[in-house]
């Protein structure tokens, strides 16, 4: 089982919102806009894992809150 942490970061003015993807040690492994699945696939090579992470990202509403995802 793999553990990932996701955090939604609020953009300001012309800067869009971003998602931080961190591994089990909370090391930043990806930083991308929420709708950019192709960027997620560059970090997480497994399409099933990327699809699960994308579904969690789509449901995220709070900014600055770390969300733990175990796959």
Tell me how many domains the chain contains. 1
**What are the backbone angles phi and psi of residue 12, rounded to the nearest 5°?**
-130, 140
pTM for the whole structure = 0.89
| Residue from 29, 33, 22 nearest 58 by CA | 33
pLDDT of residue 63: 95
- Residue 51 pLDDT grade (very low, low, confident, very high; cuts 50, 70, 90): very high
Q: What percent of the chain has pLDDT over 70?
A: 100
Find the domain containing 12 and state its range. 3-70
């Amino acid at each position: 089982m793999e553990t990932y942490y996701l955090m939604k970061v609020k953009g300001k003015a012309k800067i869009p919102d971003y998602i931080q993807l961190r591994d089990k040690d909370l090391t930043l492994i990806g930083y991308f806009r929420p709708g950019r699945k192709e960027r997620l696939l560059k970090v997480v090579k497994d399409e099933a894992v990327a699809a699960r992470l994308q579904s969690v990202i789509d449901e995220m509403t709070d900014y600055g809150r770390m969300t733990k995802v175990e796959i």
